[in-house]
Structure 1
Amino acid sequence: MERREQRRKNRPKDYLERHIFPTLLPGMEEMLRIAKKTERRKRFDPLDFLTQYLYQKNPRFADRGDIVLWDIPFVREILKRKPRPPLPLSATWTEDEAATVIQAHYRGYLVRMQPDIQEFRQWSKGVRQEQEAALIIQRNWKRFLRSKSPPKESNM
């Protein structure tokens, strides 16, 4: 009977219920509460949140109270080896800023689609091509002249 009781205590399910869930489940509830409050366009990383939460609330270490994710030693090591790319602007803008950018791009599109603007853009493209062609011809002509000029004699 005693052996059966010992095996029951060592089952993974019992270990999870005794040691893991009392810390993990409140962390997941807190994560969901914060995720609901977070602005829709802002980036919320639930794994970052849970990492910080579990590190702070580990019952074995009471002195980890207000440490932030980026100051956790193993997180620092991981970020040294593999830094994260910067967030895209769309994840850092407010809804008003995003709306302003979208409106500006749409207005620019409407202007560029006007027939007189299209004609001007085609004309300026032709001018740029002519200028580039002139530069290429001048560069090649100078190179040709240098190859035809006699080498300079040096006094020894």
Structure 2
Amino acid sequence: MPIITVGKETNLWQDICSEFATKRAQAETGAISTSFLNFEKKYPDNSEIKKPLTDKQIYDPSKHSPVFCNYSYNHVTIDDITQIQIDTRISHPACINYALIPIDHIQRELTRSTTLVHRPITPIKKGPKELSTIEYLEKFVYPILLKGIEQLLIEAEKRKCLERKRSAFNALDYLTRYLFYKNPLRINLSEEKNQQLSDIDQSLENIPFVHTHFEQHPRAPLPKSLLWSEEEAALIIQSFYRGYRIRKQPDVQELRQWQREWRDANRNIHDVVEDFWRQHTSSPPV
């Protein structure tokens, strides 16, 4: 059956989002568990990613023109279409604004690239300012940021952030710490490659620019409900309730009443003692 192929243009970020959306949909339906957040797949550099060149579609006369059968086409912008002269003996008006490549030619190029020995090609080095936005993101931003996001999701799952509505874990704080303490320009990756972030030695307040910001804009302290773990909160609540049950007993109530009266009676005991000794002290001789 004839096949129409359309040139497919994607980038690394779109591939990652589509893959994560597929896994998330499977996790919501119960097909897979949520452990896919701990995947061991490492996204390679842009040069190692193999993207499909074409997107194949079955030919449908109601949707496609027979002129494009067995051709891969890409849309090409033309400024003034009225100035184009078409020879119907060798071309067709439907080909206007499209560049056609035979599928056989693409298949031969793919076969040739897989059979020939891969030879390293020296790329043309460009500065960061000379790259386009997508190239800059894929080359300088995503290789570092994606590793940090991966560790962020693993840490969020450890602290059960996906199971609760409120949590003390701050994703932006963790990502800031990761990008600062795991910066390859300031540390030796061979020594700290597999080390985890330490909440004490590598805290957020120890970062210079964060410390300066907190001095000008201090944060409000977190409530105890977010700082205490479930075990600590249960221990404090149980201790308070046991104390309440003890204080509620009649003999304890009587003892507490006597202690209250004794404190009221002896509230100014120091002043009373001083007045007593002042009155009974003999006056000095003249």
Q: Could you say whether these structures have the same fold, taking a TM-score greater than 0.5 normalized by the shorter chain as the test?
A: yes
Distance 1:136 1:61, change over 3 A: closer
Contact persistence 1:8–1:14 (CA under 8 A): no
SS at match of 2:262: helix
2:175 to 47, 50, 58: 50
Normalized against structure 1, the TM-score is what?
0.57
On the 8 A contact 2:148/2:179 being kept in 1, the answer is yes
Specify which of 31, 36, 40 is matched with residue 152 of structure 2: 31
Amino acid at match of 1:103: Q
How far 1:125 sits from its partner (Å)? 0.7
Identify if the C-alpha distance between structure 1 residues 15 and 117 changes in structure 2 by more than 3 Å, giving closer, same or farther: same
Task: Tell which structure's C-alpha radius of gyration is larger.
Answer: 2
More strand by share: 2
Equivalent residue number for residue 238 of structure 2: 103
Q: Distance in 2 between matches of 1:137 and 1:75?
A: 55
Residue 259 (structure 2) aligns with = 124
Which blocks of at least 5 consecutive residues in structure 2 are unaligned? 1-128, 162-166, 216-221
Question: 1:21 corresponds to which residue?
Answer: 142
Given that residues 23 and 57 in structure 1 are in contact (C-alpha distance below 8 angstroms), is that contact kept between their aligned partners in structure 2? no
CA deviation vs aligned residue, 1:91-133 (integer Å, no higher than 9, x gap): 7766444423321111101222334433321221101222233
Question: TM-score when scaled to structure 2?
Answer: 0.36
Aligned partners of 1:117 and 1:62: how far apart in 2? 62
Per-residue deviation, 1:43: 5.5
| 2:126 alignment partner in structure 1 | none
Query: Which residue of the other structure, out of 131, 137, 146, is the alignment partner of 1:9?
Result: 131
Task: Describe the shift of the 1:63–1:126 C-alpha distance in structure 2 as closer, same or farther (beyond 3 A).
Answer: same
| Cα distance in structure 2, aligned partners of 1:21 and 1:143 | 83
Q: Percent identity?
A: 35
Query: 2:148·2:175 contact (CA, 8 Å) conserved in 1?
Result: yes
Pairing of 1:53-68 with structure 2 (within 5 A): 53-60=178-185, 63-64=188-189, 65-66=191-192
Per the alignment, in what secondary structure is the counterpart of residue 132 of structure 1? coil
Task: Tell me which amino acid in the other structure corresponds to 1:100.
Answer: L
Aligned alpha-carbon RMSD (Å): 4.6
Q: Is 2:264 the counterpart of 1:139?
A: no
- Report how far residue 136 of structure 1 moved: 2.5
The count of aligned residue pairs is 141
